[in-house]
Every structure is written in structure tokens, then in C-alpha cells.
Chain A
Amino acid sequence: MKTLKPMFWRALPFIVAYVVVLALISAGVINDYIFAIIVTICINIILAASLNLVTGFTGQFSLGHAGFMALGAYTCALITMHFDSVFGFALGILGGAVVSALVGALVGLPTLRLRGDYLAIATLGMAEIIRVILLNLGITNGAAGLSGIPQYADWNWVFGLTAVTLIVLWNYIRSSHGRRAIAVREDEIAAEAIGINTTAVKVQAFTIGAFFAGIGGGLYATYFYVIKPDQFGFLKSIDILVIVVLGGLGSLSGTVVAAIVLALVSTVLADFSDIRMIIYSLILVLIMIFRPGGLMGSKEITDTVLGKVFRRKEAKA
């Protein structure tokens, strides 16, 4: 029992989020529009959290996340359209994640020997290659993309996949693998000097990041019915990066907060479409000026006052 109680406290935010949304959906407070925003937030959390593992925790600047998202989206869409059932959808999500992870490992091996700006360019190129291949393959229907993808993503799926992503990443970062990744971020030469195989660490983080980006892509495909190669361009990678930077490099809870804040800002501004992008961009600039490390810096929610309360409860238990 003693080990179960702290786990309960850690799971509490997830349980609360799940139950509250579920209750509001059945009460009819959350209509399709609000639900669409919640799904967007969850997909952005999955994508940004997986990129944060690569860029925030391992310190590898990647501009190719939309490429992995595209692989996940197309794989999931093709499998779901072929086996039109919940089982097919589950298979699609898994298949998309696996394909994406495989490509991530394959691309990561040569490119992760590069650093900084060079790596950014290489990953950018990789995402473009994926996009152009999708544009020219027959099975992906070229530039017109795939439409009529069956929608199986209800709240259970969306929440479940988001929670799994966050819990796995949280535990990974706190494992010995994660600490090696952080060591590589802090000082690659020092990390190498104490015997860490830096390339292996980077490829591992990159592969896991790609895996979850694939899941995010799969959810995106099934929720928004239509996917086209041009949805997964350079700007999509930047959109994801913005969430990571805004939340704080190396802060999973920061990513969650930033994804929610950006979605809310965008939603509120939807009614003022003529000045929306100006205000949105202005908010980004202001946050970067006043909080250059992002909303949460590299701290987690558990490092703040809220976390102390939790920890005391855990200690008592």
C-alpha cells in the first residue's frame, strides 16, 4: 500500500482531467467545437512532448518533426481505411508509430553525428524528403491526399494516447537513459568522457520521439478526416517547435501548459480574424522577451509550490 499512494497522487491530475471532460461531454456542455479544440490540444501535446524529448532533454535541434507526424498519419489512415473497424484503427496507430520510429532510427544514425544548426538543416531536409515521397507515391494519392478517413478517435482514445505518451516520456526522462540524454544536452564532451555512447543516446531519444510523433500523426489523420502532403510542411514543424520553446525546453509540464495556452489564445482570437495572427505573433514575441526560457523554463509543475504540496502528501503516505 505504501508504494501505491504516491502513485495515486501522481495519477490524480490525469484522472481529474479525464473524468471532468467525460462528465462535461455527457452533460452536453462540451459540443463538437469545444471537443475539436480539446483534441487539437491533445495532439499538440503528444507532438510537442515527443519533440521536447529530442530538443529539450537531449539537446538536439530537430526541424523535421512534421515528417514523422506525416508518416504516422499516412500509415494510420491507410490501415484504417483498409480495415474499417476500431481494431483497424488501433493497428493503424501502432503501425504509424512503428513506421515512424523505424524511419527515425534510420535517419538518426547518420544525421545525429551532426550538431546544432547542421542537424537542424539535416532534419529539415529529411522531412522534405518524406513529404515529396508522399506527394509522388500512388498509394498516398499524391497531392490530393487521402480523404474519407474513418473517425474512431473518441475521448477515450485521445485521452488514453496523450496520457500514455506523457507517462512514458516522464518515466523515460527519469530513468538512467533519460539522465544520459540530459548529460549529452549539458555537455556532450563531458558525457563522452564519462563513458556515455552519445550517438546511441541521441538515436534512442530520436527514435522514441519519432514513435510518439507517429501516434500524434495517426490521431490527427483520424480526427480531421483529410490528410495532404502540404499539411506536413516546414511550418508544421515550426508550429510544434513553438509549443516546445514556449513551454520551456526540458519541461514536459511546460509543454502541456503551452499547448493549452496557445490553443486558448487561438480560439479566443478566432472571432477577430482580421487581427488574429498579429496578436498571436505578438504574444509569442512578448513571452520570449519576458520569459526567454519559456513559460516553465526547465522546471516541472512538481518543482513549484503545487509540487511541494504533492510531495508532502507523498512523504506522509
Chain B
Amino acid sequence: MNLRRRTLLGATAAVAAVGATTACSAKPGGSGGSAVTGDTIKVGVNYELSGAVATYGQASVDGITMAIDEINAAGGVNGKKLEIISYDNKSDAAEATTLANKLFTQDNVLVGMGPATSGNFKAIIPVANKNGVPVVSGSATADDVTWDGSTVQEYAFRICFNDSFQGTIMAKFAAENLGASSAVIIKDNSNDYSKGLADAFTTEFENQGGTIVTSEAYVAGDTDFNTILTRIKGQSFDVIYLPGYYSEAGLIIKQARDLGITAPFLGGDGFDSPTLLELAGASALNDVYFTNHYSSIDEDPTVQDFIKAFKEAKGAEPSAFNALGYDVGKFVADAISRASELTGDAVQKAMAETKGFVGVTGTFDMDEHHNPVKTILVIGLKDGVQDSSEKVG
């Protein structure tokens, strides 16, 4: 009896500790009233500020607040200031749905922003459609988010390209720019993002006349990849496609280079983190290419202005999530300014009709499936720093 009680107490204390460590910062929100009261327009932020993918949510919200602050400082949208109402969905789909209900039926926001990940974004889309509130995500890249092949989610938009586009472009890049005719794939089997990229890469690479020599898989959280890499080493191939997140990719690249594998590594936007350099080390990060939303060495003035402003405001180099968040904020303000009236339907219409929107992550039109038509960047690393960036697509 005593032992049982002690175990339970221990378990409870452990949970409490976990809860406390995942807690993190966010702006408190207001409540009540309608979307447009006097001189302010309410916009909702529903992001992952704590929990498993808190880094994405926080980075996105940093970008969004910076964009909204800039807009308000410049006089707002059509003379009205934008007011952010922000909630933390704890990286949980059910919580995201509950908070979406709160934003759309209690706080009555005009537009919703976030969540950052595809799964959580998909969870709030039915709520948005039901209440007629347009929602925008800057980083929900799964293929079927806004269009599942037959129906368009009426009120859902995104401003990032989808996963299969990344795989396709990288296959083209491998075949045309690197002259590769054979490739090895190493993917994360526990991750739909990784699998989606790998599938798209395979299809396009074979279309280009290339062959996939072998396909290896790991599971997120693995740290020793020598078995996979030794198996690969004995084969002949031109490039390695590694669609995964930086935490494993960094280790894989390091261990591969240690084993003497010199073939180029190709990846997706999951590589975009300073942690990649920390894990792999500068000397291992040569001949590494990845597709991304934006590059800090892009000489476009929009990009350079953003980087400069971000450094001043936050004191750090912006990541792709910061840039995407910033574009979400600007995109929402742009749509509100073009809307015929301040209602969800009018803003939804304005978003769907977007043409030539200029953002940090590229200039785009919105297509009929609510996906942006935009270019992609292929970034090359030399000694761990971005050395080349090329617009493709």
C-alpha cells in the first residue's frame, strides 16, 4: 500500500516537473467583444509556445509580432491598429481546436494565424470553416493541408510550399546541377514529412533517368548511424538524399564524413538550424545542399532589410520560421487592407485573390488550392556556412 502510494506520488511529481520545464513565454491575450472595435482589428495567434515543437511556434510568433508591430507603427491597416490575441496550444491538436473555438467564438477575431505544424493546423481547419474565419499557416507543409485532391478547405491558407515540391526540386537539382545519376535515400521512418520528401524525390529522380541504389531508414531520436552508413559505404552512388530534421541529420553527416563517405548530402528545410553546425562540425558540412524558404545571403533588399530589422529587434540571426512568421503577419495585414469590408468572408476573398505578394520568403500568387506559387531556394554549405543560394521552381 505504502509503496503504491509512493510510486504514484513520484509519478505526479515527475509530471509536475515536466510541466514546469516546458512552460515558456507568450503574450497574455484579451477577451470579449467583436473583431473590429473602434480603432482596432483583432487577429488571433494560436501557436505551439510550449511542448514538443515549441521552437517552431515561438520563432513564428516572434516573426508575426515583429510584422504586426511594424504595421502598427506605420499607422495600421486603413487607419486601424491590429491587436494580437495570443494563445499557447501546448503543441497539442486537441488544445489547438479548443483555442481556435475560443478565438473564433469568444474573442471574435477577424483572422487566425497558426498553428505551425501541419497536424495541428489541420485540426483547426474545420473550426475555421464552421465559423467563417480565415486562417493562415506559415509552415504547415504537408501536401494535403489546404487541398486533399478533391476539395479545397475554404477558409484555410498557407504561404509556404508543400513537402513534395521540396523533394521534386531537390531531385531536379541533383540530376541537372550536380549531374547525379544514382542516389541513396536515408529517411526518418517515424515522420510523415521525411517520408513525403523521400517519395517525391524518388519519383522525380527516376523521371530524370536516375536510379535509387538503396533506401535506408532510421527513427527520430537515434544517435548511432554507423550500421546504416557502413552498409551504404560499400555501394557506388553519386548523392545521398537525407530528408530529416537537423537533430539526426547533423549526426548522420558527421558520422558519414568520419567513415570517409564524401558524396554530397541533400536535404530539406529541416536542416535549417544552428544546431546542425554544432552537431556536425564545420569541416563535415561541405558539399551539403538543402531546399529552404529563405536564405540570409539572398541579396534581395526585402530580405536584407528584414534581417537587419530582426537583428535590431531580437538581437539574433532570423531563422526560416522567423521569416515565415513575419510573412504571415504581413500577408494577413495585406489581405485585410484589400478586403472590401471587415468580415471573415471579405478577407477570405482577398486572400484567395492575392497576386504578386512580396514577402521575405519570396514573391507569390495564391493558387485555386490556397497554396502559394513560389520559388524555392537551394542552399549550399561550405565549412558549415551558407555559401551559395539558388532560386529554383
Q: A224: which B residues are within 8 A, CB to CB?
A: 93-94, 97, 123
Query: Judging by beta carbons under 8 Å apart, are A270 and B99 in contact?
Result: yes
C-alpha gap A284/B15 in the complex (Å):
9
Give 1 or 0 for each of B97-121: 1 = CB within 8 Å of chain A CB. Answer: 1110110111000000000001110
Interface flag for A36 (CB, 8 Å): yes
A169 to chain B, nearest CB (A): 20
The A-contacting residues of B in range 14-44, CB under 8 angstroms, are 14-20, 22-29, 31
Q: Would B7 and A230 count as touching, CB distance under 8 A?
A: no
Closest chain B residue to A279, Cβ basis: B23
Segment touching B, from A141-149, A174-182, A197-205:
A141-149
Partner of A145, one of B15, B17, B119: B119
Which residues from chain B contact A196 at a C-beta distance below 8 Å?
none
B22, B93, B104, most chain A CB atoms within 10 A: B93
Could you tell me the distance in whole angstroms from the C-beta of B265 to the nearest C-beta in chain A? Answer: 23
**Counting CB contacts under 8 A, is A40 at the interface?**
yes
A235 to chain B, nearest CB (A): 7
Q: Is the CB of B98 within 8 A of A40?
A: yes
Q: Tell me whether B50 is interfacial, beta carbon within 8 Å.
A: yes
| Minimal beta-carbon separation of A158 from chain B (angstroms) | 14
Smallest beta-carbon distance A284→chain B, Å:
5
From known contacts A33-B98, A144-B119, A224-B94, infer whether A274 and B12 are also in contact, taking CB-CB under 8 Å. Answer: no
What distance in Å separates the Cβ of A188 from its nearest Cβ neighbour in chain B?
A: 11
Q: B9 and A142: CB pair below 8 A? A: no
| Beta-carbon contact of B12 and A231 below 8 Å | no
Interface hit among B187-195, B280-288, B358-366: B187-195
Are A116 and B7 interface neighbours, CB within 8 A?
yes
Asked if B23 contacts A274 (CB within 8 A), the reply is yes
Which of B11, B17, B25, B98 has most chain A Cβ within 10 Å?
A: B98
Q: Which residues of A have CB within 8 Å of B231?
A: none
Residues of A contacting B191 with CB < 8 Å? 143
Chain B positions within 8 Å of A142 at CB level: 192, 195
Q: Cβ of A84 < 8 Å from any Cβ of B?
A: no
User: Is A88 at the interface (CB under 8 A from chain B)?
Assistant: no
Docked CA distance A227–B12 (Å): 26
Contact A281–B20 (Cβ < 8 Å): yes
Interface hit among A1-9, A94-102, A208-216, A241-249: A241-249
Q: Which single residue of chain A is at the shortest CB-CB distance from B85?
A: A271
Residues of chain A within 8 A (CB-CB) of B23 are: 274-278, 281
User: In the bound complex, what is the Cα–Cα distance between A293 and B347 (angstroms)?
Assistant: 54
A225 within 8 A of B: yes
Which B residues, 141 to 165, have Cβ-Cβ distances below 8 Å to chain A?
Answer: 142, 144, 148
Smallest Cβ-Cβ distance to B188: which chain A residue: A143
A33 touches B94 (CB 8 A): no
The distance from the CB of B322 to the nearest CB of chain A, in whole angstroms, is 19
B213 to chain A, nearest CB (A): 24
* B8 beta carbon closer than 8 Å to chain A: yes
Say yes or no: B101 contacts A33, CB within 8 Å: yes
CB of B88 closer than 8 Å to a CB of A: yes
Q: A36-B101, A142-B192, A273-B86 are in contact. Are A228 and B15 (CB under 8 A)?
A: no
Chain A 217-249 near chain B by CB (<8 Å), digits 1 or 0: 000100111111011000100110110011001
Structural contact, A144 and B192, CB atoms closer than 8 A: yes
Are A249's CB and B122's CB within 8 A?
no
Residues of B within 8 A of A225 (CB): 97, 122-123, 125-126
B353 contacts partner chain A, Cβ-Cβ < 8 Å: no
Given contacts A245-B8, A277-B19, A281-B19, contact A226 B87 (CB under 8 A): no
Q: Give A40 Cβ to nearest chain B Cβ, in Å.
A: 7
Is A133 on the interface with B (CB-CB < 8 A)?
no
If the complex has contacts A224-B97, A226-B93, A238-B15, are A33 and B7 also in contact, measured as CB distance less than 8 A?
A: no
14 contacts between A and B (CB under 8 A): A33-B102, A63-B11, A142-B195, A143-B192, A148-B126, A224-B94, A225-B122, A226-B120, A239-B15, A277-B22, A284-B15, A284-B16, A285-B13, A288-B12
Residues of chain A touching chain B, judged by Cβ–Cβ distance below 8 Å, are 31-37, 40, 59, 61, 63, 116-117, 120, 135-136, 141-145, 147-148, 151, 220, 223-228, 230-231, 235, 238-239, 241-242, 245-246, 249, 270-278, 280-282, 284-285, 288, 292
The 6 closest A-B CB pairs, nearest first, are: A277-B23, A144-B192, A281-B16, A273-B88, A226-B123, A281-B19
Q: B residues engaging A (CB < 8 A)? A: 3-5, 7-9, 11-20, 22-29, 31, 49-50, 52, 86-88, 92-94, 97-99, 101-102, 104-106, 118-120, 122-123, 125-127, 130-131, 142, 144, 148, 189-192, 195
10 additional contacts, CB 8 Å, given A231-B92, A273-B49?
Answer: A31-B106, A33-B98, A36-B102, A61-B4, A143-B190, A239-B15, A270-B99, A274-B23, A280-B19, A285-B16
